[in-house]
Amino acid sequence: MRSPYTSRVVRIVTPIQPDESSWAAMERAVAMAKAMEAELKGLFLEDTEALAAATLPFTRTVAFQSGRIGAFEAADLQAAYRALAERARQRLAEYCRAQALQWSFEVEARGGEAPEEPAVAGSGAATALEEARERSRIRDLLLLDRRALRFRQQSAALLRLATRHGTVAVADLTGPPPQQVVLIYHGAEDRLILAAQLAHALGVRLEVLVCADDEEGDGSLLADRVTSWMKEHRVAGAVDIIPPAETEAAKARIVGLSGVLVLFERTDLISSLAA
């Protein structure tokens, strides 16, 4: 019997906001990477829309507490971002070295150009190429603090990240550790294996929500296959079916639950952000 835990995630990728409030989320990401024996990559997200606004001659700042109006200079904002990015990089390095984790750090624009459209599999060689790319994407797990989904100004950056990372995990990274892993499942076994790995590493149960579609009818056949797979590999948890008409509402409700880490595909993230 092939163990679902023999092929592990190679890297967890987590965005870091340009303020110190994201450092608690960084600690949780480090803990998850440690549990998964994975490398951790931090992406510091600069707000290019704010940088562009700072170049306009009429843009001003208003102090939060005093209400004082001041100049908004692009050079000052860039310097502030560089300082925050360096502080975030040092904090990430400190956390990862304490846990003997491999890590990397990158500065990325948060706004700007439109995201790329995800590739659509064709036939023949194109299909084989897309399948190879999809298998490579599964080895990176994009880990998001669920607060990031609440801010529409971050949608462009999240969509762009989603085109590069096929599998997304969303949790409250500043609260208590997740007590359950939920997989929004469309039939890809690699994601089922990954969800089982996460649940095993975190010591929690796995709930698989099977998305019914036209090919699988009401989803019962796919649900039966998942149930058999979980039983064969001794994965503790449950399997339920989401009717097509309830899929988007179910995803929104589950992502909003505390104590739950939700795992889903890039296309689910794109559809929820575009809604």
91 found inside a domain: yes
> b or e along 36-69 (b: 16 or more beta carbons within 10 Å of the residue's beta carbon)?
bebbbbbbbbbbbebbeebeeeeeeeeeeeeeee
Q: Does residue 162 or residue 96 have the better pLDDT?
A: 96
2 found inside a domain: no
Lowest mean pLDDT: which of 13-22, 110-119, 254-263? Answer: 110-119
241 found inside a domain: yes
- pTM reported for the whole predicted model: 0.77
Query: Residue 55: which CATH number?
Result: 3.40.50.12370
Residue 119 above 50 pLDDT? no
Q: What is the mean pLDDT of residues 152-175?
A: 80
45 found inside a domain: yes
214 found inside a domain: yes
The per-residue pLDDT for 228 is 96
Q: Does residue 226 or residue 214 have the better pLDDT?
A: 226
**Alpha-carbon distance 162 to 172, whole Å?**
19
* Structural domain that includes position 140: 11-63+70-274
Dihedral (C-alpha) 127, 197, 159, 40: value to the nearest 10 degrees?
Answer: -110
Question: Could you give the number of structural domains in the chain?
Answer: 1
The per-residue pLDDT for 174 is 84
Q: What is the mean pLDDT of residues 247-266?
A: 81
6 found inside a domain: no
226 found inside a domain: yes
57 found inside a domain: yes
Taking only the tens place, the pLDDT of each residue in 126-150 is: 454 455 444 444 578 999 888 777 6
- Reference 4, options 193, 263, 203; nearest CA is 193
